[in-house]
Amino acid sequence: MSVAVETTTSRVPRPIPAHLSHAEQSFSLKKRRFPFSSASTSSASCSSPPRGSYCLPPLPPSKGCPPLSRMFPQHQSPWTPLSDSLSKSPPPSSVYDPSKQTSYFGQCFTNLGLLGRGSFGEVYKVQNNKDGRLYAVKRSAQRFRGNGERQRSVKEARNHERICPHPHVLDFVAAWEESGRLYIQTELCSTSLLLHAENKPPGPDEPAAWGYLCDLLSALQHLHSHGFVHLDLKPANVLITDSGRLKLGDFGLLFEVNQTGVESKNRKTKEDVQEGDPRYMAPELLRGEYGPAADVFSLGVSILELACNLEVPNGGEGWQQLRQGHLPSEFTNGLSVELQSVLRMMLDPEPNERPTVSQLLALPCVRKRRWKRRIYLMVAETMLTVVSFCQFVVCFGCKLLSSVRLPFLPCWSKPEPCTPPKDSWDRDVTLSLSSLHNDPGSPEDDGVFLHHSDPELSPTFSNRIKSGLSVESTSTPLPGSPVRGPVHSTQSVLGSWSSCSLPLTPTSSHLNNSCHKLTPDVSPIHAERHPGSPSTASTERRRRGRVRAEEAAATPRPNFEPKNLLSLFEETTLEGQP
Ligand SMILES: Nc1ncnc2c1ncn2[C@@H]1O[C@H](COP(=O)(O)OP(=O)(O)OP(=O)(O)O)[C@@H](O)[C@H]1O
């Protein structure tokens, strides 16, 4: 361990990865990027992809013949478990029936919406129909175009499963292959660290950076002590829970170092070589030296970025300087001496001079903050659990009251389903799709996904909505609708139709799944349905009265207020008028 030793070799410019043709030249303040909501609505054009998510070019709209599978509907291709968890305990036949046309995903999960898109796939928030819990499921965007591609995709899932559970590593649940696509089921988080940081008020945030450093050092210590190197550590690959706990994810480039020489230079075989994000890449990776020190460097760059709110250069002079041990003083001068010196050590150009994760964790300044961080997380998680429990009690109480069927509360007599009934979901989607595409529901377009994620791929769909046709068959908000909040992406996907809007931890949220009542805000849709249709004043009044009544009926019980009684009264008065 040494503080920024500048050797002669460190001044020699390092070769820049070949694909960096549009390299940023030096350091700059972080630009605000649109979070997922923009990706969801415009990722087809991909004009400004979220950083860390190199969007694939949009699929061209279908102009020619429909695919063969649409003309000759066929059964889903077989479902293949890829994780030990699924092979050892497959779902019971009551949950998954292979003879049914619906996919494994469609039968086992209720899709609650798109969480985000990355370069390889789309991530959905789902509810498991077996245990009722909420999870994230990542589905590869493209079907495998060969065995090589398949192997590479499957590797990410297998790598993830090999890592023992740890409080700062994203929990792996299961992986499977279906219809030529890979599915990975993991624990549900709130959002990625990148999006979280970008949605905070601009400006440096050193206390938060110390917290991130402590969490990610713990995660790396776990990986390194088990003989793994991540090799793609960056804020986009770190997830954050509702309590603020960081979880390291995305193990596509995970590399196993031999146990005897964890610190020794390990060379990957040529076919193994896959470059991570160049902005966070340690200089020695360009020489083919793969070791735990590379993760320390990437963590250093990530913390520098998060603490100073700066745009990390992906090439050019700034990229070179960072790999020669020069920190951008115009940004780092505002940081404490302690953090500056830790960053200097982590960003040492020589991997052998860089401290190991254990050495960093032993630093007094880190140890002090790690304790604070632990206490903070403990308190935050306890509070979340208490809030979740209270929500559960309130929801349970409401359900109980509604089952009493009080005569003066007519709208309480029919409680809304917790989630859309699966059959109706499938039926609605199939109806919607078949009416749009005249397609009997091919496995090409698994309705469970197209319903949420691909409206931009289906121009007919959006035109239909725009032209004011019925949206009753689409009971979920459209991607890009204003209900989405930038930070709490998981929560905002449910947006306006979740009556329990407090963020829940994945562990606790199963307690109150009953809170996820679907109460679509129907009034604006109805109002726009026939904008130009002639209507007399009385029919208009009646229509408004009906809409209010529908709103009142759709309002979940906890929101039942005297206001609703007033509107019911008003409605009755309106109905009574000639
Ligand atoms: N477990 C999760 N819980 C909540 N949101 C998630 C989860 N996993 C991913 N996301 C969201 O989905 C987005 C895309 O996911 P992810 O980055 O894993 O896809 P990817 O194809 O591997 O992307 P890349 O390879 O570019 O990193 C993330 O930015 C994050 O917002």
More confident residue, 520 or 393: 393
**pLDDT tens digits, 105-131:** 999 999 999 999 988 889 999 999 988
Q: Ligand 1 centre and the CA of 14: distance in Å? A: 31
Whether ligand 1 lies within 6 angstroms of the CB of 160 is answered as: no
**pLDDT tens digits, 289-313:** 999 999 999 999 999 999 998 999 9
Residues 125 and 211 in one domain: no
In a domain, 288, yes or no: yes
- When pLDDT is cut at 50, 70 and 90, the band that residue 184 belongs to is very high
More confident residue, 289 or 551: 289
Among 172, 187, 202, which residue terminates a domain? 187
Q: Lowest mean pLDDT: which of 141-145, 304-308, 394-398?
A: 141-145
Q: Ligand 1 centre and the CA of 53: distance in Å? A: 9
Mean pLDDT score, 368-388: 95
Mutate-to-test residue for ligand 1 from 123, 126, 494, 504, highest number of ligand atoms within 8 A of CB: 123
Whether ligand 1 lies within 6 angstroms of the CB of 140 is answered as: no
- Per-residue pLDDT at 302: 97
Residues 206 and 182 in one domain: no
Annotated binding site for ATP: 138
Atom index in ligand 1 nearest the CA of residue 50 equals: 29
Among 168, 187, 206, which residue terminates a domain? 187
In a domain, 165, yes or no: yes
Residues 93 and 207 in one domain: no
Whether ligand 1 lies within 6 angstroms of the CB of 37 is answered as: no
d(C-alpha 181, C-alpha 199), whole Å:
32
Nearest 5°: the CA angle 318, 47, 150 is 85
Whether ligand 1 lies within 6 angstroms of the CB of 123 is answered as: yes
In a domain, 246, yes or no: yes
- When pLDDT is cut at 50, 70 and 90, the band that residue 33 belongs to is low
The DSSP output letter for 266 is B
Whether ligand 1 lies within 6 angstroms of the CB of 384 is answered as: no
Q: How many domains does the chain have?
A: 2
Among 360, 378, 396, which residue terminates a domain? 378
Q: Ligand 1 centre and the CA of 478: distance in Å? A: 20
Q: Specify the residue with its C-alpha closest to ligand 1, atom 5.
A: 191
Whether ligand 1 lies within 6 angstroms of the CB of 116 is answered as: yes
Residues 156 and 226 in one domain: no
Contact 114, 40 (CB under 8 A): yes
The DSSP output letter for 134 is E
Q: Does the pLDDT of residue 350 top 80, yes or no?
A: yes
Atom index in ligand 1 nearest the CA of residue 190 equals: 4
Residues 178 and 213 in one domain: no
Atom index in ligand 1 nearest the CA of residue 187 equals: 1
Q: Does the pLDDT of residue 422 top 60, yes or no?
A: no
Q: Ligand 1 centre and the CA of 236: distance in Å? A: 8
- Per-residue pLDDT at 395: 87
Residues 202 and 298 in one domain: yes
Residues 215 and 133 in one domain: no
Q: Specify the residue with its C-alpha closest to ligand 1, atom 13.
A: 116
Q: Specify the residue with its C-alpha closest to ligand 1, atom 15.
A: 118
- Per-residue pLDDT at 437: 40
Domain of residue 93, CATH code: 3.30.200.20
Q: Ligand 1 centre and the CA of 521: distance in Å? A: 29
Whether ligand 1 lies within 6 angstroms of the CB of 192 is answered as: yes
Whether ligand 1 lies within 6 angstroms of the CB of 250 is answered as: yes
Whether ligand 1 lies within 6 angstroms of the CB of 134 is answered as: no
Residues 175 and 200 in one domain: no
**pLDDT tens digits, 239-250:** 999 999 999 999
In a domain, 420, yes or no: no
Residues 182 and 247 in one domain: no
- When pLDDT is cut at 50, 70 and 90, the band that residue 385 belongs to is very high
Q: Does the pLDDT of residue 387 top 60, yes or no?
A: yes
Q: Ligand 1 centre and the CA of 157: distance in Å? A: 14
Residues 302 and 325 in one domain: yes
- Per-residue pLDDT at 110: 94
Atom index in ligand 1 nearest the CA of residue 53 equals: 26
Grouping H, G, I as helix, E, B as strand and the rest as coil, residue 263 is coil
- Per-residue pLDDT at 13: 54
Helix H or strand E segment including 201:
none
Whether ligand 1 lies within 6 angstroms of the CB of 195 is answered as: yes
Residues 221 and 337 in one domain: yes
Grouping H, G, I as helix, E, B as strand and the rest as coil, residue 38 is helix
Closest CA to 109 of 135, 86, 83, 84: 135
- Per-residue pLDDT at 5: 38
Outline where 405-485 has alpha helix (H): 422-437, 447-453, 459-466
Q: Specify the residue with its C-alpha closest to ligand 1, atom 23.
A: 118
Q: Ligand 1 centre and the CA of 192: distance in Å? A: 7
Q: Ligand 1 centre and the CA of 195: distance in Å? A: 10
Task: State the catalytic residue, choosing from 84, 171, 215, 232.
Answer: 232
In a domain, 347, yes or no: yes
Q: Specify the residue with its C-alpha closest to ligand 1, atom 22.
A: 118
Long-range contacts of 431-436 (CB under 8 A, 24+ apart): 431/473, 432/461, 432/473, 432/474, 436/460, 436/461, 436/464
Mutate-to-test residue for ligand 1 from 119, 153, 154, 192, highest number of ligand atoms within 8 A of CB: 192
Mutate-to-test residue for ligand 1 from 124, 126, 138, 187, highest number of ligand atoms within 8 A of CB: 138
What global pTM score does this model have?
Answer: 0.64
Residue written as token pair 């090409």: 444
83: its two tokens: 């994780």
In a domain, 350, yes or no: yes
Q: What share of the chain is helix, strand, coil (3-state, %, to 5)?
A: 45, 10, 45
Q: What ipTM was predicted for this assembly?
A: 0.96
446 carries an active-site annotation: no
Domain of residue 315, CATH code: 1.10.510.10
Nearest 5°: the CA angle 166, 159, 362 is 40
In a domain, 110, yes or no: yes
In a domain, 557, yes or no: no
Whether ligand 1 lies within 6 angstroms of the CB of 113 is answered as: no
Q: Give the domain extent around 149.
A: 80-187
Mean pLDDT score, 398-423: 57
Residues 205 and 143 in one domain: no
Q: Does the pLDDT of residue 487 top 80, yes or no?
A: no
Q: Ligand 1 centre and the CA of 54: distance in Å? A: 12
Atom index in ligand 1 nearest the CA of residue 35 equals: 31
Q: Lowest mean pLDDT: which of 65-74, 85-94, 519-528?
A: 519-528
